[in-house]
Amino acid sequence: MSTQGYEEELRSEQDYVAGLYTRLDAERARVKGEYDAALRGTGGTAMERDIEVRALAKEVKRLDVADNGLCFGRLDTTSGEHSYIGRIGLFDEENDYEPVLLDWRAPASRAFYVATAANPENVRRRRQFHTRGRRVVDFTDDVLGRPDGSERGDAALLAAVDAPRGDGMRDIVATIQAEQDEIIRLDHPGVLVIEGGPGTGKTVVALHRVAYLLYTQRERMERHGVLVVGPNPAFLNHIDRVLPSLGESDVVFMTPGDLVPGLHVTAEDTPRTARLKGSLQILDVLAAAIADRQRLPEHPLPIELGEVTVRIDAETAEWAIQEARASGLPHNEARTVFTEILTWVLTERAIARIGRGWLTRQDRQTWEDMRADLLTELAEDDTFTAALDELWPVLTPETLLATLYASPERLRAAGADEALWRADGDAWTVSDVPLLDELIDLLGRDKAAEDSAEQAAERERKAEASYAAGVLDVLVDRQDSMDDEDHLFATDLLYAEDLADRFVEHDTRDLAERAAADRDWTYRHVVVDEAQELSEMDWRVLIRRCPARSFTVVGDLAQRRSEAGATSWQEMLEPYAPGRWAYRSLSVNYRTPAEIMTVAAALLAESAPGVQPPESVRARGVQPWSRRVTADELPAAIDDFVRDEAGREGTSVVIGPPGVPGTAVPVPPSEIKGLEFDAVLVVEPERILADGPRGAAELYVALTRATQRLGVLHTGPLPQVLAGLAETGPPIQARSQRSA
């Protein structure tokens, strides 16, 4: 194309995209008007108005996010037709709703991502736009079907991966590659495992898959929502913009420590303890710990009943325990069976003693009347209640587990390893979450406490509704007593009616808020990132959250640091989804330059010789460096890196073990998994490697976070696996020079 022809095409494309924005603005104005009207509306019930407002608010958000990069490409077919591809679909209402912009998830858009010279998919040309705001800056064309078999151009992709990083992960909707698109659109109803090394885009592919599923299965998935589980809050903050940028908001983000609502994780287990808690063998410990709290009395417990004394002896309690366990009910609910057996025995014994000599079974009515009186007396007897609490106490997951951990005697009784002991029983760790979640089902509900709470809530609801109705009555009375010249504004009456209506019980929280607060909420789909770290017990929690077993699982076994984590996808997933899981891998590294990946690959070859590192899509021409410094020089060297990077565009991070001095405190590798930065400084790699079996995985993670520049500082000898790093680091500036 000549320069003049290119400029004419560019103007033509700019005009078309400008027309798309005109349509977007008109649609946004229409929806915003409906949203404002709904906020002011008074028709229908409060619940109906809330539903309408939430639906319109969601549509407003969807249209707002589409403004950034609305249209990013065009497809020309061999038959002469062309179509534009973008974030959302737009239609010409005056022309039978002819599409003027195809949603990237629509089937007709697929060729934009997968067409190649070898398999052009009836595409003659693929055009990719480079936009800034609403302006088309330039475009590149991939002409397919050429005799030389040339493949798709990489201009748009390389521009995206070379761009400086911002505060969070960006979507890749404009640059999805063929191997990624295949996974995003894969029609698999069970568990899909996406494995890939650092920088292969597995996380962002999983998130785009969620957006695709929500688009193609909207009605099925929207009512229950999607759960995304990530390793830590920093990771979730990094990725939480991707789905909203694609117009999806019915998504709940959690770490494994958030899966039991209201629980606060404050401690960390040793690797051995985490492995014990993550194994399915801990289920036997939990069951034994519950059974240990179902006790026989050491001595018969006397109960004063109907002016006689009856006793709960070991034989009676053992019968009651057997019946309660045989009921199959959870512990707290089986307490009712235990209580019924004891009650029957005690009242029978009391009646027999009270009526000795004159009362027989034939005096049925007298017998039943006496039993009724004794039952009432027993239910109000504090001694009997105390006996129940001693022999079959109501338990919460927290109280059971905390007292178990803090008691060597209870641990021995439950057959638990002594490594589970800790002085502060309720200093919760992430590994405790699946145990507490398991205990919720094993213990069941405390029905008495729930009934009491429900009664209190009902009294409060009635009081609020009564107050609202009273406000309405006062306003109506004022209206009736006014002269014709005085009047009460109709909006005052409408406000009062709305006030009373809103006290009719309904939940106004959005789906994400309701789901996050409800332990029993089940999701239609779950995404699990860094899944290689999850234990067998972790998976039991997640399967409860998604009974349909519809998962997108993202991980890399070579990066596993947890001793309780997966060593094989087959062994971990087959028990939970037998025959219903599929495996896909990503082989291209879009993040890490080849120069840095060469260093990381040498470490991988040593620590995981059977794992093939991903192939980098680009080289930067910037070699990673290392520098040996003294302990006294280390803080100054870290400060120099931080200062130098502060003057560059993009992001940077210092990664290292705890206890390294410096103005910038190094971040442990475990806290930056899944994140990416333009520049990375790894401090004391020899100390990271020395952290047991997980040290190599930690260092591998640290080395592969950089998208542009990597440096290493070390006070001891450089580990042999990093011998490929040249000792060419920048000189350390003197403190006086830095001050100046």
Element spanning 439, H or E: helix 433-443
pTM for the whole structure? 0.83
Q: Is 197 among the annotated ligand-binding positions?
A: yes
The answer to whether residues 708 and 651 touch, using CB atoms and an 8 Å cutoff, is: no
45 domain-assigned: yes
DSSP 128-141: EEEEETTEEEEEEE
Look at residues 536, 544, 519 and name the one whose alpha carbon lies nearest to residue 282. 536
Residue 71's H or E segment, with its range, is: strand 71-77
Radius of gyration of the CA atoms of the chain, in A: 33
Q: Which stretches of the chain drop beneath a pLDDT of 70? A: 1, 42, 145-155, 356-363, 447-508, 693, 729-740
Contact criterion met (CB below 8 Å) for 575 and 316: no
pLDDT digits (tens, 9 = 90+) for 174-191: 888 999 999 999 999 999
Residue 198 marked ligand-binding: yes
Give the domain extent around 317: 294-391
Among 122, 106, 111, CA closest to 74: 111
491 lies in some domain: no
Instruction: Work out the burial of residue 418: count CB atoms within 10 Å of its CB; fewer than 13 is exposed, 13-18 middle, 19 or more buried.
Output: exposed
Sign of CA dihedral 129, 134, 136, 137: negative
Tokens 């442990």 locate to 668
**Number of structural domains in the chain:** 3
Q: What is the pLDDT of residue 454?
A: 63
In terms of Cβ atoms closer than 10 Å to its own Cβ (0-12, 13-18, 19+), residue 596 is buried
Query: How far apart, in whole angstroms, are the C-alpha atoms of residue 271 and residue 410?
Result: 22
Tell me, yes or no, whether 201 lies in a domain. Answer: no
Angle ∠(570,208,200) on CA atoms, nearest 5: 60
The domain boundary, picked from 334, 364, 391, lies at 391
Reported in sequence order, the residue ranges of 289-358 that DSSP labels E, i.e. its strands, are 301-305, 308-312
CB 440 within 8 A of CB 434: no
Q: Which residue, 128, 145, 162, sits at the end of a domain?
A: 145
pLDDT number for residue 145: 61
Burial 368-378 (b: 16+ CB within 10 A, else e): eebbeebeebb
| 674 within domain boundaries | yes
The annotation status of 565 as a binding-site residue, yes or no, is: no
Query: Is residue 661 marked as binding?
Result: no
**Closest CA relative to residue 204, chosen from 476, 590, 563, 617:** 590
Burial class (CB in 10 A: 0-12, 13-18, 19+), 233: middle
Distance CA 343, CA 373 (A): 12
Residue type, 695: G
Residue count (the chain): 740
Tokens matching residue 719: 């580990």
Answer yes or no: is 199 a known binding residue: yes
pLDDT one-digit tens code per residue, 601-655: 999 998 888 888 999 988 988 999 999 999 999 999 999 999 999 989 999 999 9
Count of Cβ atoms closer than 10 Å to residue 89 Cβ: 17
Residue where a domain terminates, one of 121, 145, 169: 145
Number of other CB atoms surrounding residue 60 within 10 Å: 14
Q: Give dist(CA 247, CA 207) in Å, integer.
A: 12
For residue 252, the surrounding DSSP H or E stretch is strand 251-254
CATH assignment of the domain containing 626: 3.40.50.300
Is residue 39 in a domain? Answer: yes
Confirm whether 693 is domain-assigned: yes
**pLDDT (0 to 100) of residue 59:** 87
- Does 716 appear as a known binding residue? no
**Model pLDDT, residue 62:** 85
SS (HEC) of 579-614:
CCEEEEEECEECCCCHHHHHHHHHHHHHHCCCCCCC
3-state secondary structure of 646: helix
* Residue among 52, 50, 56, 55 at smallest CA distance from 505: 50
Does 32 carry a binding-site annotation?
A: no
Please list, in sequence order, all residues whose beta carbon lies within 8 angstroms of the beta carbon of residue 685, skipping any fewer than 6 positions away. Answer: 699, 702, 712, 714, 718, 719, 722
Residue 692 is labelled as binding a ligand: no
Burial class (CB in 10 A: 0-12, 13-18, 19+), 357: exposed
| Nearest residue to 654 via CA among 572, 729, 593, 711 | 711
> Does residue 482 form part of some domain?
no
Q: Is residue 553 part of a domain?
A: no
